[in-house]
A and B are shown apart, each in its own frame.
Chain A
């Protein structure tokens, strides 16, 4: 089975369905092994330069990509909007042309507008990775979640029942994850208040529930989305306390889960809102592992885009 010939990773769709996703997850195993060595670094992308172009605040995703690039011996540059010429009014197009003129091979883009990485990819010779665009997609998050889950449930996720709980409407993680989980044979249920569900869910490979206690019966994985506190003022739910009571994974709800049900969260956590602190720190929580696996998954992605995908000669 050949590896997918990837130029950009803008959406989960670029991975080429189940076979391509599984090839990427298999490749990630190689990098987990590299990261466990005394010298957790290989010269695979020596001489390549990767720029992180972040138009939104982020610590874990940016550091995870930069660590991944450094572990592959690529050079990294960081472009953060708060200290850059964007403050002086430079457009995205001009910024991309400017950094591309410095001779780069990969651009990792995070942007508040859906589709911005697609635009960057259309302007640039470099490979582009979408590190989160608006409410659209966050494909490396979906990959690292599936990889983490596979490590606990074996190579096949067929029939795995996953509840994605919270603000589905505004979540790029929900969009990428539902596509990727569905491609791997999982059954996904979205859970949340109607005000935080998309108006239309036609064509989404997921069922919808508005009652968390109903949805948690016999569930294998509870995937909690972060409640973005800035939404509170938009009258989408009455109060943080009411949200936590109806849709938070409280200690009491966690105690009713099957013993082997796993809990995941893309971070950063709002402890006491979508997840109780003791549930986040319990043995069923994979949250720390998700972060750890993020580096290996992003190494696999950067390697696929910049290393192995060259033309056959």
Chain B
């Protein structure tokens, strides 16, 4: 699959009214994003008393990039190369048939039996992607525990899902969209932005 497909998939459902979204606010600049990743890496190691049993599993597309960054951060201060996996949840989603769903990339997960798996994604919203990811993961093996790390928690949960590690809690409206740009996926500088419908952008201006 191509990167453009991934972007289309992730942002397609975020416009309930079908209209165009406009930039509203910047949330993270490159330094903020780097600090958040570094802090989450420290929290993961602290909570698990080291990094020996960890596996970081990124959800396509930006979760995979974030998992790589977390692994690099952990290696820099713990000296342990944490195994990384990639997980595509397309075939496990609960909205198949309701909207176009396409696979985003190959699922490659190292042996997780008896280990602590940290699922990594960019934005936690309804919780449905994480629910799909748990189903997909548990068919690949039986981890000792599963934890969840996200860069942004924007609220509006529809399932009882909670993140263990959060870069930033960001209250949003359902009509808004949180856009995470990572240099290795999207090019340009790292940043996190809120986009919203036109009328709100005008009112605020």
Contacts and interface: CB of A to CB of B under 8 A. Distances in A.
A26 B8 CA distance: 17
A284 to B, nearest CB: 28
B96 A44 contact: yes
A34 B92 CA distance: 12
A307 B96 CA distance: 6
A37 B98 contact: no
A312 B8 CA distance: 12
A103 B181 CA distance: 45
B107 interface: yes
A45 B5 CA distance: 21
A3 interface: yes
Contacts of B99: 310-313
A61 to B, nearest CB: 23
Interface residues of A, number: 26
A243 to B, nearest CB: 45
Contacts of B4: 1
A308 B100 contact: yes
A26 B101 contact: no
Contacts, number: 60
Interface in A15-39: 26-27, 29-30, 33-34, 37-39
A113 interface: no
Nearest to A41: B139
B99 to A, nearest CB: 5
Contacts of B96: 44-45, 307-308, 310
A181 to B, nearest CB: 24
B102 interface: yes
Contacts of B106: 29-30, 33
B2 interface: yes
Given A43-B92, A44-B91, A312 B100 contact: yes
Given A43-B92, A313-B98, A1 B139 contact: no
Report whether over half of chain A's contact residues are helix, strand or loop; otherwise say mixed: loop
A7 to B, nearest CB: 13
A37 to B, nearest CB: 7
Interface string A273-313: 00000000000000000000000000000010011111111
A34 B109 CA distance: 12
B97 interface: yes
A245 interface: no
B139 A37 contact: yes
B135 interface: yes
A307 B136 CA distance: 17
B153 interface: no
**Considering residues B2, B5, B100, B103, which has the most beta carbons from chain A within 10 angstroms of its beta carbon?**
B103
Interface string A41-76: 011110000000000000000000000000010000
B100 A26 contact: no
A205 to B, nearest CB: 28
A277 B127 CA distance: 56
A49 to B, nearest CB: 13
B12 interface: yes
B205 interface: no
A310 B5 CA distance: 16
**Considering residues B2, B91, B107, which has the most beta carbons from chain A within 10 angstroms of its beta carbon?**
B91
Nearest to B138: A39
Nearest to A45: B96
A306 B140 CA distance: 25
A308 B5 contact: no
B88 interface: yes
Nearest to A312: B99
Interface of B: 1-2, 4-5, 8, 12, 88, 90-92, 96-103, 106-107, 135-136, 139-140
6 contacts: A2-B100, A26-B1, A34-B107, A39-B139, A303-B91, A312-B100
Nearest 5 A/B pairs, CB to CB = A42-B91, A44-B91, A30-B103, A310-B97, A39-B139
Interface of A: 1-3, 26-27, 29-30, 33-34, 37-39, 42-45, 72, 303, 306-313
